[in-house]
Amino acid sequence: MSFEFDTKQDFMVNTSISDVLAYYSPLMTSVKYSVNKMSKIHENAECNKEICSISMMLMKIAESEMNLMMLNMDNNMKNFIKSSYYLSFKRFNIIISNIKDYVKNISALRGYKKYINAKEVKSKFVKLINEYNKCIENLQFTHFTIKAVYIEKVEKDLKNVEETFQNITCSDNRNIDDTVQEISIIEKLVCVMVADLY
Protein backbone atom coordinates (compact mmCIF):
# COMPACT_ATOMS: atom_id res chain seq x y z
CA MET A 1 0.00 0.00 0.00
CA SER A 2 1.46 3.37 -0.92
CA PHE A 3 0.36 6.78 0.18
CA GLU A 4 1.07 10.09 -1.45
CA PHE A 5 1.60 12.80 1.12
CA ASP A 6 0.61 16.39 0.58
CA THR A 7 1.46 18.24 3.76
CA LYS A 8 -0.50 21.32 2.76
CA GLN A 9 -3.92 19.67 2.69
CA ASP A 10 -4.37 15.96 2.42
CA PHE A 11 -1.95 13.36 3.62
CA MET A 12 -3.45 10.65 1.44
CA VAL A 13 -4.73 11.47 -2.00
CA ASN A 14 -5.92 9.06 -4.65
CA THR A 15 -6.39 6.26 -2.16
CA SER A 16 -9.15 3.75 -1.56
CA ILE A 17 -11.33 3.34 1.52
CA SER A 18 -9.53 0.12 2.40
CA ASP A 19 -6.16 1.93 2.30
CA VAL A 20 -7.44 4.68 4.59
CA LEU A 21 -9.04 2.15 6.91
CA ALA A 22 -5.73 0.29 7.14
CA TYR A 23 -4.06 3.53 8.18
CA TYR A 24 -6.62 4.27 10.93
CA SER A 25 -7.06 0.67 12.07
CA PRO A 26 -4.23 0.58 14.67
CA LEU A 27 -5.63 3.73 16.29
CA MET A 28 -9.14 2.29 16.41
CA THR A 29 -7.84 -0.94 17.91
CA SER A 30 -6.02 1.03 20.60
CA VAL A 31 -9.17 3.03 21.43
CA LYS A 32 -11.21 -0.17 21.72
CA TYR A 33 -8.54 -1.72 23.94
CA SER A 34 -8.60 1.32 26.26
CA VAL A 35 -12.40 1.25 26.45
CA ASN A 36 -12.36 -2.48 27.33
CA LYS A 37 -9.73 -1.92 30.02
CA MET A 38 -11.70 1.06 31.32
CA SER A 39 -14.79 -1.13 31.61
CA LYS A 40 -12.92 -3.52 33.92
CA ILE A 41 -11.54 -0.64 35.98
CA HIS A 42 -15.05 0.81 36.27
CA GLU A 43 -16.46 -2.51 37.48
CA ASN A 44 -13.79 -2.84 40.20
CA ALA A 45 -13.72 0.78 41.38
CA GLU A 46 -13.21 1.17 45.12
CA CYS A 47 -13.69 4.93 45.23
CA ASN A 48 -14.54 7.93 43.03
CA LYS A 49 -17.31 5.92 41.42
CA GLU A 50 -18.98 9.01 39.91
CA ILE A 51 -15.80 9.96 38.09
CA CYS A 52 -15.45 6.37 36.92
CA SER A 53 -19.06 6.28 35.69
CA ILE A 54 -18.86 9.63 33.90
CA SER A 55 -15.54 8.69 32.31
CA MET A 56 -16.89 5.30 31.24
CA MET A 57 -19.93 6.95 29.70
CA LEU A 58 -17.74 9.41 27.75
CA MET A 59 -15.50 6.65 26.49
CA LYS A 60 -18.43 4.49 25.37
CA ILE A 61 -19.99 7.45 23.55
CA ALA A 62 -16.68 8.26 21.88
CA GLU A 63 -16.20 4.65 20.83
CA SER A 64 -19.72 4.57 19.36
CA GLU A 65 -19.11 7.80 17.47
CA MET A 66 -15.83 6.42 16.15
CA ASN A 67 -17.58 3.23 14.99
CA LEU A 68 -20.31 5.24 13.25
CA MET A 69 -17.74 7.40 11.47
CA MET A 70 -15.90 4.32 10.28
CA LEU A 71 -19.09 2.66 9.05
CA ASN A 72 -19.89 5.80 7.11
CA MET A 73 -16.32 6.28 5.90
CA ASP A 74 -17.22 6.72 2.24
CA ASN A 75 -19.26 9.83 3.12
CA ASN A 76 -16.48 11.12 5.39
CA MET A 77 -13.53 10.44 3.11
CA LYS A 78 -12.82 14.15 2.72
CA ASN A 79 -12.05 14.27 6.47
CA PHE A 80 -10.15 11.01 6.68
CA ILE A 81 -7.58 12.00 4.06
CA LYS A 82 -6.69 15.29 5.81
CA SER A 83 -3.53 15.23 7.86
CA SER A 84 -5.18 17.46 10.48
CA TYR A 85 -7.98 14.91 10.89
CA TYR A 86 -5.52 12.05 11.22
CA LEU A 87 -3.56 13.98 13.86
CA SER A 88 -6.82 14.69 15.72
CA PHE A 89 -7.62 10.99 15.60
CA LYS A 90 -4.18 10.19 17.04
CA ARG A 91 -4.80 12.77 19.77
CA PHE A 92 -8.19 11.16 20.43
CA ASN A 93 -6.46 7.83 21.00
CA ILE A 94 -4.00 9.43 23.43
CA ILE A 95 -6.75 11.22 25.36
CA ILE A 96 -8.81 8.04 25.70
CA SER A 97 -5.72 6.25 27.01
CA ASN A 98 -4.98 9.12 29.42
CA ILE A 99 -8.53 9.01 30.78
CA LYS A 100 -8.21 5.25 31.30
CA ASP A 101 -4.90 5.68 33.16
CA TYR A 102 -6.28 8.52 35.27
CA VAL A 103 -9.37 6.54 36.28
CA LYS A 104 -7.20 3.52 37.06
CA ASN A 105 -5.22 5.68 39.50
CA ILE A 106 -8.16 7.33 41.23
CA SER A 107 -10.48 4.31 41.36
CA ALA A 108 -8.42 2.45 43.93
CA LEU A 109 -7.64 3.79 47.38
CA ARG A 110 -3.95 3.07 46.93
CA GLY A 111 -3.75 4.85 43.57
CA TYR A 112 -5.80 7.78 44.83
CA LYS A 113 -3.09 8.61 47.37
CA LYS A 114 -0.85 9.44 44.40
CA TYR A 115 -2.71 12.72 44.21
CA ILE A 116 -2.23 15.26 46.98
CA ASN A 117 -5.88 16.12 47.51
CA ALA A 118 -9.35 16.19 46.01
CA LYS A 119 -8.67 19.52 44.28
CA GLU A 120 -5.82 17.96 42.34
CA VAL A 121 -8.01 15.00 41.33
CA LYS A 122 -10.76 17.38 40.18
CA SER A 123 -8.31 19.62 38.35
CA LYS A 124 -6.86 16.67 36.43
CA PHE A 125 -10.38 15.42 35.64
CA VAL A 126 -11.47 18.83 34.29
CA LYS A 127 -8.27 19.10 32.22
CA LEU A 128 -8.84 15.67 30.66
CA ILE A 129 -12.48 16.46 29.93
CA ASN A 130 -11.55 19.74 28.26
CA GLU A 131 -9.01 17.92 26.08
CA TYR A 132 -11.63 15.27 25.30
CA ASN A 133 -14.24 17.88 24.29
CA LYS A 134 -11.77 19.75 22.06
CA CYS A 135 -10.70 16.54 20.36
CA ILE A 136 -14.28 15.35 19.85
CA GLU A 137 -15.09 18.72 18.29
CA ASN A 138 -12.09 18.46 15.94
CA LEU A 139 -13.22 15.01 14.85
CA GLN A 140 -16.74 16.36 14.27
CA PHE A 141 -18.35 13.75 16.49
CA THR A 142 -21.77 14.66 17.79
CA HIS A 143 -20.73 14.63 21.36
CA PHE A 144 -21.88 14.61 24.90
CA THR A 145 -20.47 17.49 26.88
CA ILE A 146 -19.87 17.54 30.58
CA LYS A 147 -22.43 19.74 32.22
CA ALA A 148 -22.14 21.45 35.60
CA VAL A 149 -24.31 18.78 37.21
CA TYR A 150 -21.61 16.18 36.51
CA ILE A 151 -18.90 18.39 37.95
CA GLU A 152 -21.02 18.72 41.10
CA LYS A 153 -21.30 14.92 41.28
CA VAL A 154 -17.53 14.66 40.94
CA GLU A 155 -17.02 17.18 43.76
CA LYS A 156 -19.41 15.24 46.01
CA ASP A 157 -17.65 11.98 45.18
CA LEU A 158 -14.24 13.48 45.94
CA LYS A 159 -15.50 14.91 49.23
CA ASN A 160 -16.73 11.46 50.26
CA VAL A 161 -13.37 9.88 49.48
CA GLU A 162 -11.49 12.59 51.40
CA GLU A 163 -13.79 12.09 54.40
CA THR A 164 -13.24 8.35 54.20
CA PHE A 165 -9.47 8.83 54.25
CA GLN A 166 -9.71 11.18 57.22
CA ASN A 167 -11.92 8.77 59.16
CA ILE A 168 -9.96 5.61 58.50
CA THR A 169 -7.69 4.78 61.37
CA CYS A 170 -5.62 1.74 62.06
CA SER A 171 -5.88 -0.53 65.05
CA ASP A 172 -3.44 1.64 67.01
CA ASN A 173 -5.41 4.84 66.18
CA ARG A 174 -2.87 6.12 63.65
CA ASN A 175 -4.08 7.91 60.55
CA ILE A 176 -4.20 5.90 57.32
CA ASP A 177 -1.69 8.29 55.68
CA ASP A 178 0.97 7.28 58.21
CA THR A 179 0.22 3.61 57.66
CA VAL A 180 0.32 3.96 53.86
CA GLN A 181 3.72 5.68 54.11
CA GLU A 182 5.04 2.93 56.37
CA ILE A 183 3.78 0.24 53.98
CA SER A 184 5.43 2.05 51.09
CA ILE A 185 8.75 2.18 52.96
CA ILE A 186 8.49 -1.52 53.85
CA GLU A 187 7.70 -2.35 50.21
CA LYS A 188 10.81 -0.50 49.05
CA LEU A 189 12.96 -2.25 51.66
CA VAL A 190 11.64 -5.65 50.58
CA CYS A 191 12.41 -4.84 46.94
CA VAL A 192 15.96 -3.82 47.87
CA MET A 193 16.41 -6.98 49.95
CA VAL A 194 15.13 -9.17 47.11
CA ALA A 195 17.42 -7.41 44.65
CA ASP A 196 20.37 -8.00 46.99
CA LEU A 197 19.61 -11.74 47.00
CA TYR A 198 20.22 -11.87 43.26
Would you put residue 144 in left (φ > 0), alpha (ψ -120 to 50) or beta? Answer: beta
**Rounded Cα distance, 152 and 130, in Å:** 16
Query: What per-residue confidence (pLDDT) applies to 4?
Result: 46
Query: What per-residue confidence (pLDDT) applies to 130?
Result: 85
Query: What per-residue confidence (pLDDT) applies to 80?
Result: 84
* pTM of the model as a whole: 0.68
Tens digit of each residue's pLDDT, the chain (198 residues)? 444 444 445 566 667 778 888 888 999 999 999 999 999 998 988 877 888 888 898 888 888 888 888 888 778 788 888 888 888 999 999 999 999 999 888 887 665 555 556 677 778 888 888 888 888 888 888 655 555 556 666 667 666 666 665 665 555 555 555 655 655 566 565 555 555 554
**Rounded Cα distance, 30 and 69, in Å:** 16
Greatest distance between any 2 Cα atoms in the chain: 72
Query: What per-residue confidence (pLDDT) applies to 106?
Result: 82
Query: What per-residue confidence (pLDDT) applies to 161?
Result: 64
Query: What per-residue confidence (pLDDT) applies to 96?
Result: 94
The three state secondary structure string of 49-116 is HHHHHHHHHHHHHHHHHHHHHHHCHHHCHHHHCEHHHHHHHHHHHHHHHHHHHHHHHHCCHHHHCCCC
**pLDDT by residue (tens digit) across 136-187?**
888 888 655 555 556 666 667 666 666 665 665 555 555 555 655 655 566 5
Query: What per-residue confidence (pLDDT) applies to 118?
Result: 67
Query: What per-residue confidence (pLDDT) applies to 197?
Result: 53
